[in-house]
Each structure stands twice: as C-alpha cells, then as structure tokens.
Structure 1
Amino acid sequence: MSNLLEFARELAAIGQAGITYSKDPYDRERFVRLREMAGELLALPDYSPDFKWPDEIGYDTPKVDVRAVVFRGSEILLIKEAATGLWTLPGGWADVNISPAENAEKECREESGYIVKATRIVSVIDKERAGYAPNANAIYKIFFLCDLIGGEPTTSHESLGVGFFDIDALPPLDPHRGREVDIRDAYARHLDPTLQPVFN
C-alpha cells in the first residue's frame, strides 16, 4: 500500500465483505472489529482525529459520480455549488434504478434547470488516481457529453447560480467535483468526435 488511507480502505472493504457474507457469528464479530480498526487507523491524531467510515452495508465497491458536460459554442454550463460557493459541472452521486446517462441528465435538470440528452462518454476515471484529493470512499467519475434540449436557468437547494462560461474564462472551480483539465478533455472530444474517451 502506498499510504495509510489506501491501507485502511482495503482493510475496511475486507471487513465489510466479511460482515455481509460470513455466516459464523464469531467471524462476523471479528469482521466488525476489523472495519472499526480500519477507521481507528485514520482517526489517529496525526491523520484525521474526527474520521468515521460512512455507514454502508453489503460488498464495498466504488461510489459513482456522474457529470453532465454541456457546451454552447465555446461556452460550458456550470452551476455554483451551494455547499462550497464554487462552480462545477452539474452532477452528483448516481441514483439506483436509472442508467448512468439518465443520472447525468437528471442531475443537470435538477441543478441547472436545463434539459439535456447524454450522447457520449468523454471520460471514466478513478478520482484519486486522476489527481483529485483523497476521499474515504473509492470513487469513479463519469463525464457525459450532453446536447442542450431546452429548459431555462433555475437554481435549486444544491445550486446558488447557473451560467455558461467561456472555457478560457472559467470562474473559480470546486476542485473536488470537477477540474479545468476535465473540462478541456471534454471540449477536445466535443470538437473532435473521433477522439477516444479518457480513462485510467
């Protein structure tokens, strides 16, 4: 393991799988304790003393974050996150019972007021390996190129603002949700459909 977070994350995943699949009550107790210990590693004073694993059940898999990438000429649709006051691509955690593309369309409509149609995947990345800040969860990010169908700019409880910005004049971006490099990767594929999706 290259760092403490990766080590603790794998221990927690082993513990959670054991809790889910073990039939022996004594083994289940051991797996519960293993997951607790993985959290205690990250709660050490020199790491993150207030750390706690999110409550999860079942086999531990990466969480999925979907983003709608909508261009209007050289401008890109961004929303101002209520949580941070910074700008990002519309999107968020994928919900169950709808496809990844439908999730991106739904998130865009809810956060921006615009109706879009996902047409192409421009990137699928492991968030941490792509250079984002570490997170307790392993996270995959999927960026969908979307066509603008209709609607009008509308804020929500998740967004303080909605706007189109020239890619050479972007507002302050939320570095945990989407970066300029992600936008430029998408713009290159918007201009040239023959380019393959980005992945790691």
Structure 2
Amino acid sequence: MTEKWLEWAQQIQSTAQAGLTFSKDKFDLKRYRQLLELSAEIMSSYSSTSMSTVMDLFHKEEGYQTPKIDARAVIFKENKILLVREKVDGKWALPGGFADVGVSLTENVIREVEEETGYRASYKRLIAVLDYLKHPHPPQPYHYYKFFLECDVTGSPADQTLETSDVQFFERNGLPELSLNRNTKSQIDLLFQYLNNPFKQPYID
C-alpha cells in the first residue's frame, strides 16, 4: 500500500547503503553516495521533510540495510483493548515502539508497557507480524516489520508518563482517533479477532 515513489526511494537507499558498507573502490563509493542523495531528494520532493533532515536520518544508518522492528503490546480487558494517547501527536496507539538493540522482543514490549502505562506486563502469545508497507500507514523513510504481542497486565495505570498523556481501554466500535504511524483501524480490527480465541494462529504478512 506504499506510494510508488517511496518504494523506489527506499530501494535506492537500501542499495546505496549496502554499497557503502561493502564496497572498497573509491569511485564506487562516490556513486553510492550519489544514489543516497538521490533517494533523499526523492523523499524530500514528495513529502514535507527537508532533504537535510532525510540525509541526517540516512547518515545514522550503518551496515547492511534491513527492516526495523516495531513491537506493540495487545492487552484485552472486558472485551476492550488498551490504548495510550501519544504526547507527540495527541492520538492513540497500542503501547510499544521500536525495539532496542541488546534486548529481546518480549523484554522490549514489557518495558514499553510499563513505561507508557504504569501497568506491569507479562508476555502471553504472538498475535501478528505485519509489513508496514502492506498496510495504510502514512509514508515513512524506512521499512518496518510490526510485531503484535498479546500481554497480561497487573497493577494500576499511571496518570501520565514521559511519552503518553492518557491510558484507557476501548471497545472495538468505540475507538478514538488513532496515531496512524503506529497502528491503523484495520490492524485493531484484526487484533480483536484474537479476543477470546486462544487457538487462533498468528497472522503473518
């Protein structure tokens, strides 16, 4: 579902990143740097992001380009799902975020739940692994895989945290405005298919 211009730019960026990682020839390295700049120019031209900002993002990348991991917690209670209000845009999302290096997937999710909600979480099962590009998210410079892990929680929610300003459970037909960079309505609908359905197999794109 990604825009074609973004798909092309991501492919050019990935090729350039691989070339800069493995090439030793100074002329090839120059060409790969030009490809990286071309990718940034495409992204900047078709979005509201400046080329310098895109290049700053690219310069933070090292090594062979691979998809990034976004890990989200799925927490049900009384036929409702737990969402947090993001301070950055005032919209709602499943607790979670990008996985950190040196920490397992479940450890990442458990930590994010506690930091963003105040609840103490424990891993229950894997529900879905989705490709960001196959879902109606806004354009992003990188390619992401989104992992959705069902968790159980105990304790009480926090009034607010460093990243979130509210924590609530919502019914399937009463969802608030979602932060579409993080999760979409169709993804929440998919997750609700796992409510009270312990034997349903994980959905993987």
Give the Cα separation in 2 of the matches to 1:16 and 1:179.
30
Give the Cα separation in 2 of the matches to 1:42 and 1:187.
35
Give the Cα separation in 1 of the matches to 2:114 and 2:143.
26
Please list, as runs of the form range in 1=range in 2, the aligned pairs for 1:170-181 lying within 5 A after superposition.
Answer: 170-181=175-186
Point out the more displaced range, 7-16 or 148-157.
148-157
Give the Cα separation in 2 of the matches to 1:2 and 1:188.
28
In the alignment, residue 30 of structure 2 is paired with which amino acid?
E
1:50 maps to 50
| SS of corresponding position for 1:189 | coil
Please list, as runs of the form range in 1=range in 2, the aligned pairs for 1:112-127 lying within 5 A after superposition.
Answer: 112-127=117-132
2:38 maps to 37
Distance 1:43-1:184 versus aligned 2 partners, 3 A rule: closer
1:98 equivalenced with 2:99 (yes/no): no
| SS of corresponding position for 1:196 | coil
Distance 1:108-1:174 versus aligned 2 partners, 3 A rule: same
Give the Cα separation in 2 of the matches to 1:152 and 1:47.
37
Distance 1:164-1:2 versus aligned 2 partners, 3 A rule: closer
Q: Which has the higher helix share?
A: 2
Point out the more displaced range, 161-170 or 98-107.
161-170
Cα distance, 1:151 vs. partner?
A: 4.4
Cα distance, 1:189 vs. partner?
A: 1.3
1:4 maps to 5
Cα distance, 1:2 vs. partner?
A: 7.3
Moved over 6 A (4+): none
1:67 maps to 72
Q: Which sections of structure 1, spanning at least 5 residues, go unmatched?
A: none
In the alignment, residue 146 of structure 1 is paired with which amino acid?
C
| SS of corresponding position for 1:190 | coil
1:132 maps to 137
1:188 maps to 193
2:18 maps to 17
Contact kept? 2:93, 2:183, Cα under 8 Å: yes
| SS of corresponding position for 2:135 | coil
Specify which of 145, 162, 171 is matched with residue 166 of structure 1.
171
Give the Cα separation in 1 of the matches to 2:38 and 2:13.
8
1:149 maps to 154
Contact kept? 1:12, 1:35, Cα under 8 Å: yes
Please list, as runs of the form range in 1=range in 2, the aligned pairs for 1:66-85 lying within 5 A after superposition.
Answer: 66-85=71-90
Point out the more displaced range, 94-103 or 184-193.
184-193
Give the Cα separation in 2 of the matches to 1:141 and 1:6.
18
Contact kept? 2:159, 2:165, Cα under 8 Å: no
Cα distance, 1:26 vs. partner?
A: 2.5
In the alignment, residue 42 of structure 1 is paired with which amino acid?
M
In the alignment, residue 194 of structure 2 is paired with which amino acid?
R
Cα distance, 1:24 vs. partner?
A: 2.0
Point out the more displaced range, 153-162 or 106-115.
153-162
| SS of corresponding position for 2:71 | strand
| SS of corresponding position for 1:95 | coil
1:87 maps to 92
